[in-house]
Amino acid sequence: MSYEYARIPLKPGVNLICGPNGAGKSSILLGISVAFGQSYTERSKKLSDLIRRGKDIGRVTLVLDNSIREGRRPVRRIRKDQIYLTRVLRRDGKYWFEIDNAHATRAEVLRLLSRFNVDPDNMLIIMHQDMAEQFVVLSPQEKLKLVESAAGLEPYRRNVLEAKRKLSRIVSQEESLSKMLESAAQTLNYWREQYDRYQQKKQLMLKRRFLERELAWAEAASREAAVSDLEKRISKRREEFEKIENKIKTSEAKVHQLQEEARNVKETWERLFEERLLLEKRDAGRP
């Protein structure tokens, strides 16, 4: 039984799909398992055999409920109430996944499903018709692991086993610590004596550093006094230098003024001399 198109709404809680043999019940479960990323096809050997006869492509889309529960969404990075998980199969054997119409890898699909506590490879989550015999022959330990995985209890088991390992290490460490305490008691007096000597040495070193600092401060004060005296002498020389500079500037201004006056006198003399020559030429030309 294959579907050309079907939309099957599943409600919260237990959903029963009933019908006679050949009605397509197993096809619905198979479609869900294929969308989850399983390569198991039950009655077919290849995924491409699941495509409807006469078609070149098959598509299964699951609508996952990502609505807010207890103040947060199962998949926080997707801020929508519904997530569309799609798997597309082609007749040539190629297939791919899509999450909200965007290409995704199988690893990304498995990470997405883990946010909903779904392990598609767990037989207690998806058990095809011919898997019952496989489940029966499993050991009690393997069955327990499947139950814990389906119920989301695996983290708790890991925590219990880790706590047990830690407890075993602590017990072992306790025994070694008791031996270490005996050894520590024997050397305690020795280290106390060493500590007293260290304290004496520490006090002497503190006193030495204090005296070294006092000496450094005395040298610094002496150098500061010398620097202050030198700064005063430099300041005095700077004032004298500024006075000399001012005198030079005043003298330069006077020289410049005299040069201007001399230039003006020269220009006046040249002009008068030319005028005199003109007058003499004019007088010489008269009868």
State the DSSP string of 137-193. TS-HHHHHHHHHHHHT-HHHHHHHHHHHHHHHHHHHHHHHHHHHHHHHHHHHHHHHH
Judged against a pLDDT cut of 90, whether residue 208 lies above it is answered with yes
Higher-scoring residue by pLDDT: 142, 28: 28
Q: Is the pTM of this model over 0.85?
A: no
Q: Report CA-CA distances (Å) from 54 to 35, 91, 124, 250.
A: 21, 10, 34, 113
Mean pLDDT, to the nearest integer, of 190-219? 91
- Taking only the tens place, the pLDDT of each residue in 265-281 is 998 998 898 888 888 88
Of 60-64, 147-151, 222-226, least confident by mean pLDDT is 147-151
Contact predicate 35/60, CB 8 Å: yes
Q: What is the dihedral of CA 6, 11, 14, 20, to 10 degrees?
A: -20
- pLDDT of the residue at 140: 74
Residue type, 138: L
User: CB neighbours (10 Å) of residue 82?
Assistant: 11
Q: What percent of the chain has pLDDT over 90?
A: 24
Is it the case that residue 108 has pLDDT exceeding 90?
A: yes
Residue whose pair of structure tokens reads 């708790």 in the numeric block: 156
Instruction: Pick the more confident residue, 140 or 230.
Output: 230
> What is the reported pLDDT for 62?
92
Q: Alpha-carbon distance 46 to 95, whole Å?
A: 12
pLDDT value of position 33: 84
> Which residue segments constitute the domains of the chain, with CATH numbers given?
25-121 (3.40.50.300)
% pLDDT > 70, the chain: 85
At 153, list the tokens. 């209890």
Residue among 128, 112, 165 at smallest CA distance from 29 = 128
Range from 55-59, 92-96, 281-285 carrying the lowest mean pLDDT: 281-285
Q: Is the pLDDT score of 133 beyond 70?
A: no
Q: Is residue 131 pLDDT above 80, yes or no? A: no
CA distance 87 to 6: 15
Q: How confident is residue 209, by pLDDT bands cut at 50, 70 and 90? A: very high
User: Measured between alpha carbons, how far is 62 from 50 in angstroms, rounded to an integer?
Assistant: 17
Does 112 score more than 90 pLDDT? Answer: yes
Q: Give the mean pLDDT of the chain.
A: 84
Among 56-70, 76-90, 142-156, the range scoring the smallest mean pLDDT is 142-156
Examine the pLDDT at 43 and tell me if it is beyond 60: no
